[in-house]
Amino acid sequence: MVDFYYLPGSSPCRSVIMAAKAVGVELNKKLLNLQAGEHLTPEFLKINPQHTIPTLVDNGFALWESRAILVYLVEKYGKTDSLYPKCPKKRALINQRLYFDMGTLYQSFANYYYPQVFAKAPADPEAFKKIEAAFEFLNTFLEGQTYVAGDSLTVADIAILATVSSFEVAKFDISKYANVSKWYENAKKVTPGWDENWAGCLEFKKYFD
């Protein structure tokens, strides 16, 4: 049994749910109430000393950081390597996109929206410019491309889909970026688990209403 500690509204958690669906792994989902400090209990700290979500426990093997979990699920449970091909060049491009999501795209979301949502801070125009720059990069990556890395769906699409859908419920105007918009519409149709991802997005949306 694969235990999964998560919150449905979290983009990184939602990416893991989609990847698990894509490789046919059933997750034993365990909701963690961060506001109640459930991630800081001695039991959870023993599993993940960094006390972050998502956290996966596969027969005693604990792993956190969503993008590491995506790769692990495909490498261990994927019936083919299509979501994370063994070709070094294809894999390198996917890795680059995963790091771009972590360090640039998702980071820009966190830096701009989280202070407003969780600390009631005013919007920071400089942080908003970082979002626009991140979307410009993604738009460039997608020029003439159906997928973010290579010519088929990979874990890079799954990670970035989780992030971009969060921007949608935060009311960021994705339509200004034609390549991203086109990719997003297709990714929603072809990514397993999209419905559950969107349900989590709608739960997250209450912070922006």
| Structural domain includes residue 81 | no
27-31 and 2-6: which strand pairing? parallel
Contact (CB, 8 A) for 72 and 56 = yes
Per-residue pLDDT tens for 67-100? 999 999 999 999 999 999 999 999 999 999 999 9
| CATH code assigned at 180 | 1.20.1050.10
Give residue 125's domain range.
86-204
66 is catalytic: no
Mean pLDDT by 10 residues, the chain (209 residues): 95 98 98 92 97 97 98 97 98 98 98 94 97 98 98 98 98 98 98 98 90
Same domain, 53 and 149: no
Residue in 82, 105, 84 with CA at minimum distance from that of residue 165: 105
In three-state secondary structure terms, 109 is helix
Total domains in the fold of the chain: 2
Q: What pLDDT was estimated at residue 162?
A: 98
pTM of the model: 0.97
Report residue 142 as tokens. Answer: 């997608």
Same domain, 69 and 30: yes
Q: What pLDDT was estimated at residue 130?
A: 98
- 123: which DSSP letter? P
Other beta carbons within 10 angstroms of residue 204's beta carbon come to 19
Integer-rounded Cα radius of gyration of the chain: 17
Contact (CB, 8 A) for 18 and 161 = yes
Q: What pLDDT was estimated at residue 169?
A: 96
Same domain, 64 and 161: no
Other beta carbons within 10 angstroms of residue 165's beta carbon come to 24
Q: What pLDDT was estimated at residue 207?
A: 85
CA contacts within 13 A on the Cβ side of 168: 22
Q: What pLDDT was estimated at residue 209?
A: 81
Counting residues of the chain whose pLDDT is more than 90, the rounded percentage is 95
Q: What pLDDT was estimated at residue 1?
A: 82
Q: What pLDDT was estimated at residue 181?
A: 98
User: Rounded to an integer, what distance in angstroms lies between the CA atom of residue 169 and that of residue 203?
Assistant: 10
The residue among 48, 75, 102 that closes a domain is 75
| Structural domain includes residue 209 | no
